[in-house]
Chains A and B, each alone.
Chain A
Amino acid sequence: DAKTTQPNSMESNEEEPVHLPCNHSTISGTDYIHWYRQLPSQGPEYVIHGLTSNVNNRMASLAIAEDRKSSTLILHRATLRDAAVYYCILVEYGNKLVFGAGTILRVKS
């Protein structure tokens, strides 16, 4: 399974943008980059995914480096409800989601 590296934890102020980095230097050409988050005492929740181009949805934006060896999840205005563990996951075609340790995001009011 392709490996990702994320910071253990990050802190943000409420109402400010948050950039969550992910390194995946061993990514292959067919690996999709997925982001999920897990709020306390809940199941993981899909955030966004992409292959090569940057992606936007109502929850976040995903910026993918040109060489695809890193990506950044962008929350445009963090709220207290965004405090969660954020997982960056590489998914090979037809394969399973393999979760790493993720980044604990703390949001300060």
Chain B
Amino acid sequence: DTAVSQTPKYLVTQMGNDKSIKCEQNLGHDTMYWYKQDSKKFLKIMFSYNNKELIINETVPNRFSPKSPDKAHLNLHINSLELGDSAVYFCASSSHGPTNEKLFFGSGTQLSVL
């Protein structure tokens, strides 16, 4: 069983569309994250949720809205997609915060906005 799974793996869409990326973890973790990896390969945290509560919200356009229906799921909804949103998005989870805990990452969703 995959510990952290994301769907879809690839997402190609037109500018202006709205799309969602789903993430599920079966590790029983309390904390989940979304990271974005741009074309220069830098990984930047976007959001972090702990027990369905938002605890980290970096400077991300409000077109990006995370939703956590339960602590095993953290979905990312993106409105009005722009060319600059093209990137690989990674979901991750940890049992508590990242300080003394390891993060488990999904395999990523490659988003291409045309």
Main secondary structure of the interface of A (DSSP, over half): loop
Does chain A have a CB within 8 A of B43? yes
Bound-state CA distance A65–B99 (Å) is 19
Q: Is the CB of B102 within 8 A of A46?
A: yes
Contacts of B102 in A (CB 8 A): 34, 46, 49
Stretch from B11-19, B72-80, B104-112 contacting the other chain: B104-112
Contacts of B92 in A (CB 8 A): 43-44
Q: Is the CB of B104 within 8 A of A96?
A: no
Does chain B have a CB within 8 A of A2? no
Bound-state CA distance A37–B4 (Å) is 17
Contacts of B45 in A (CB 8 A): 96-98
Contacts of A95 in B (CB 8 A): 97-99
Bound-state CA distance A43–B2 (Å) is 13
Contacts of B106 in A (CB 8 A): 43
Q: A32-B99, A91-B99 are in contact. Are A99 and B105 (CB under 8 A)?
A: no
Q: How far is the CB of A62 from chain B (nearest CB, A)?
A: 13
Cβ contact of A43, chosen from B48, B56, B98, B108, cutoff 8 A: B108
Bound-state CA distance A44–B43 (Å) is 9
Interface pairs (8), CB distance under 8 Å? A44-B103, A51-B100, A85-B41, A87-B43, A94-B99, A95-B98, A96-B33, A97-B45
Nearest first, the 10 A-B pairs at minimum CB distance are A43-B105, A46-B102, A99-B43, A97-B98, A44-B105, A43-B90, A96-B45, A93-B99, A94-B97, A91-B99
